[in-house]
Structure 1
Amino acid sequence: MILDILSRTPGLVTPFDVEFHEIPEHLVIREVDVPHESYTRVEAREYERNATDDIRAVDSLRFDEANYALVLPRSVAIPPSLAFKRHEPISRSAPREPGFLTVVSGPVHDLRTLIPSSKILTLEDGDEYMPSALTRNLLYARKAPGIVVVTDRVQDIQFTVNFARERNIPLTVQNGGHSYASYSLNHEGILINMKQFKNVEVNLTSTPKKATIQAGCQWINVYDHFKSNGYKQVVLGGRCQEVGVSGYTLGGGVSPFSRRFGLGIDSILEMKVVTASGDLVTVTPEDTDPKKKDLFWALRGGGGGNFGILTEFTTQIHDLVDKGGEVIYSILTWEFPGRQSEFEAMIEVLNSTTWPDELTMDVIWQEKGKKPTGGLIVVYDGTMQDYQKAIEPLTRFICDSQVKKCHWWDVAVKEQGWYAESPAFHHHTSFVFAERTLTPEVVKAINELMKETRDRLDTYDPKGKAYIIWVHLGGKTTKVNAEDTAFFWRDAAYVSYFKLQWYKREAMSEMIKLVEEVKENLLPYTIEKKAAYVNFVDRTIPNWQEAYYGDNYPRLQEIKKDWDPDNFFKFEQSVELPGATATGPRSGTGEDLRNAMRQTEIIWDQYALRHPEKIWSLPGPILKEKDVLRIIREELES
């Protein structure tokens, strides 16, 4: 009874709390001898002093002020395996057993006192907490931050960073929540949700023309701002409109206009970031201070969550050929097997032709039910007449009725399966390919993999879906040297990923096997047989350090040492300090890959939603976000 009371006492940690097993090394549970009676002592945290009055009010509990300890009678039943062993601290990045921690009130109370103008949310704040901590991937639905900070003040971000650092509490930042491996979340730590940082300002009188964008925006917020204000210039943003602007930019920024204007990072004019020390630092291309120059370099392609918290950035915006902001756009589809040979003939022409920078053509293979298809997504910056000249080698494959003019912001798409109202288990596997890689040999390998995918889905989850997309790069992106920014793969012609989406939890083991087969078959064709794109983050990559960053990784480590010497900003694939033991093996295939797949399956099993069938039994033809979040919350609370 008393431990049940204690578990709800403000400021206390008991064996009923998950946090009990993660206390720092100097906070231990041990048996002590007291004259005439044996007691169990629970050492408390410094911040728990505020709970002294509440502690004294609990029956049968003695408070030892000299040693600042809580003393319980031996009659209280505590499992020996918990009460009388020293619990070593758990690595902040190690997987933890899910099952939501009821956060002790100490840090919650202290944060609310420290930053009263911000929202400090816990699971008890259900309707507010759940959307702010949503992973948007049922594989990680049980990965639940202990505290979510929602603020629109940079100062409160600084306070929160200092608060978490001083207490060694894991901290991550969420913007769009599109981290495919859910690295923007943590389990039982502090999450800063940036969704209130949504201001966009455009300056058309400056040289160059520019936009200043706060880091909590999703690209749909930016596109809507341009649309509603009649701005015709293009900002280099994500194809998927719900992608967050900050993670997108920090990882490099591939857009439908990358071939024309370069990566998103190539247009950056200024960045503001809260560092691990809690300082707000502004960096620009004009910086003369060596450390600030290095930080600006690292923030352009070094990936999100490594060097600080981006609060806003300023980027150049670009004039299109059409002064009204319109581009040529087309989505072409070939149904298999009837038109598969025609699709493959089109790819052969696509692969063997040199295309103008104004033209972007993404290739996609899709498996949806019984209708496998191939597709080509075309975007052209120019007039219809010039487009027809540029596309001439493919004219016999394209019907004029499939081609239209539209505003550049209408090119953005909505990715199914990434929203609370369309929940799914899904995994993305990342690849980067060089020019002329779409050979008949590679196309055959992809066709066979997609057929195997369909067969596997038919057996284990017929409603599942899959696709492989090759996102077209090259052009202006190759004009920057690999060492000029942290984005290393400047010779890339395509960044690609295989997306697998399913709905039955019991299919998970078969899906992980399928992912392994895809990687084993396609990695040999990637640049240096390892290249991957950090914004298509993939926890199944064993040698992610080299795969994401190539030869730039050692420099990133040195910059990490300068700006985050204690490795405060840390997650499973965060940039390591120099000399740190690599968190994964150095090969992308073979036994190293199999080990990575096994570890991934363990993590999926820990954090995946246990009972997705409860979602699919909800009434009505269309799921509602609040109902889906309620089911996830019930699992976290159970």
Structure 2
Amino acid sequence: MKPNNNLLEIPNINSKDAKLNKLIYVVDDSIFNKDNYSKENFEHLCVCSGGTTSSCAKNGFTTLDLRKNYSKIHLDKESNLVTIGGGVIMGDLINHLQKYNRSFPIGLSKLPGAGYILTGGVSPLSRAYGLAIDNIESIKGFLGNGTFISLKKNQINSKKQLIWEAIKGAAPFFSIITEIELKTIKSNPIKVIEGFVNLNELSEIIKLSEEFPENISLQWIYAQKIYIYIFAEIKNDLEDKKTEKYLMLLDKFPALEKNFYENFNKINFFPKELNLYELNTNYHSEVISLLGEDLKNNIPSFIKCLNEIMKSKPNNSCYVASQQLGYKTKKLNHGSSFFVHRKSTWKPWIYASWKKNNLQEKEVALNWIYQSWNKLKSFYPNIHLAQLHNHLNSHEEELTLAFGNRINELKTLKNIFDPHGILPPL
């Protein structure tokens, strides 16, 4: 174990500013020694795979940083399966795959690590290829009691089946995953229609998007203004013609521009003009991600609600954004993962930040998140637990809304495989 001098260089400013107890780089037996985790202090291990979550480091806690020793990437050119370490950053993954004209459905940011995959993994490509967890072929790692596990899809006995399902969506609560084998996809050209729109235009575009085929998806963000991305993968000339029929419907929105990209890897989402605060070192932040089905006839009432939320935001750092799921995410692996809300079409998230060390601003910003969440629950009743919030009052409700009827199974796994509570608590 190496003593920490506050040298954890990560994207999330909350965690970067934390004064750690210890910083560990290697998964070995000492991690699972219960003497290292004093119940009097309620300490557990924080795990950093990419460092985009506010839970990867906390004051007085120990962090396991997987990025240093678990960052290998290897593509098998015959099977097109890629094996990555638990500390691989998604941007590094697709950079490596691009050398071989392959890709993987990462999210809107290239900064997250393997935690993006293990908590579900929603991508603009998900409608065509499923969630990131749907593309897992095998895993290696350790359960919270120190037991080594190696599981391969289609080679799992009945005793290990529940562990395999829970790894896909709830891994951080009872395991440390050091290696993942993934299916990759052919790297295809991408058309993106993007630009600023107003609320009425957003309403029309959401309505159009709920009829999109699987190779087209909508992403939008409402910060100080509304910016949208309509993302279309082009596999062949026939699909290009079909896609154009849908994209032509967007010609009536004058501010939107069409851009053509050689592949997914070339796209950078969210332009600088939005002036987002994620990487502003003077601000701390939190984000809550929701899940819900088609809006259909509720689009006007949702737009009205969204407008009310944005009018009440406490500062310009706050925003609401959304990604589109559907098609393959609804069809794949029913019952075989802990991402239970397979009927979901939309994953919106609510983001707020505040000047660090300003407790009054923090309280106001968190209240805005919770008030906004309550307003959106009628449209998006469930949670995508991409961020762990055991340090917030909402943690228990988020768990229930994230795992639904599988929450008791997760608690059972936690009791059996993490009896000393080394990993994040339920």
TM-score range normalised by the length of the shorter chain:
0.7 to 0.9
Residues 1:219 and 2:87 are matched in the alignment: no
TM-score (norm 2): 0.87
Distance in 2 between residues matched to 1:386 and 1:569, nearest whole Å? 52
Change (3 A) 1:309 1:553: same
Looking at secondary structure, tell me which structure has more strand per residue.
2
Of 173, 190, 203 in structure 2, the residue corresponding to residue 327 of structure 1 is 190
1:536 CA displacement: 4.0
1:396 aligns with 2:248: no
Question: Which position in structure 1 is the counterpart of 2:407?
Answer: 553
Does the 8 Å CA contact 2:191/2:232 hold for their aligned counterparts? yes
1:417–1:423 Cα contact (<8 Å) kept: no
Identity %: 17
How far 1:408 moved relative to its partner?
1.1
2:178 to 311, 335, 341: 311
Aligned with 1:136 (options 12, 15, 23): 12
Select the structure of larger CA radius of gyration: 1
TM-score with structure 1 setting the length: 0.60
State the match for 1:162 in structure 2. 32
- Which ranges of structure 1 fall in alignment gaps of 5 or more residues? 1-110, 112-119, 124-128, 152-156, 368-372, 458-463, 576-638
Shift of 1:273: 1.1
Match of 1:243 in 2: 112
3-state SS of 2:383 partner: coil
User: Aligned AA for 2:306?
Assistant: I
Distance in 1 (alpha carbons) for counterparts of 2:46 and 2:233? 38
5+ long unaligned stretches in structure 2: 39-43
* Aligned counterparts, 1:534-545, within 5 A: 534-538=385-389, 539-541=392-394, 542-545=396-399
Q: Which protein has greater RCO, CA pairs closer than 8 Å, 6+ apart?
A: 2
Contact 2:174 2:423 in 1 (8 A): no
Selected match of 1:427 from 272, 282, 286: 286
Does 2:301 align with 1:441? yes
Per the alignment, residue 331 of structure 2 pairs with: 479
Query: Is 1:172 the equivalent of 2:25?
Result: no
Q: Distance in 2 between matches of 1:346 and 1:414?
A: 18
- Residue 199 of structure 1: which of 36, 59, 72 is its match? 72
Partner residue of 2:320?
468
Corresponding residue for 1:276? 144
The 5-angstrom pairing of residues 208-607 of structure 1 reads 209-227=80-98, 230-244=99-113, 246-304=114-172, 306-320=173-187, 325-334=188-197, 339-350=198-209, 353-367=210-224, 373-382=225-234, 383=237, 384-397=240-253, 401-413=257-269, 416-419=276-279, 422-436=281-295, 439-453=299-313, 456-457=314-315, 464-480=316-332, 482-503=334-355, 505=358, 506-526=360-380, 529=381, 531-538=382-389, 539-541=392-394, 542-564=396-418, 566-571=419-424, 574-575=425-426
The aligned counterpart of 2:20 is 145
Say if 2:189 and 2:260, in contact at 8 Å, map to a contact too: no
Aligned partner of residue 429 in structure 1, secondary structure: strand
Question: CA RMSD for the aligned pairs?
Answer: 2.5
Q: 1:135 to 1:327 in 2, by over 3 A?
A: closer
Q: How much has 1:507 moved relative to structure 2? A: 2.1
Q: Which amino acid aligns with 1:158?
A: D
In the TM superposition, residue 482 of structure 1 has moved relative to its aligned partner by 4.4
Tell me the CA shift for residue 522 of structure 1. Answer: 1.1
SS in 2 for 1:302: helix
Q: 3-state DSSP class of the match of 1:357? A: coil
- 8 Å CA contact retained: 1:171, 1:186: no
Amino acid at match of 1:375: Y
Q: Is the 8 A contact 1:240 1:414 kept in 2?
A: no
Contact 1:241 1:414 in 2 (8 A): no
Aligned residues: 406
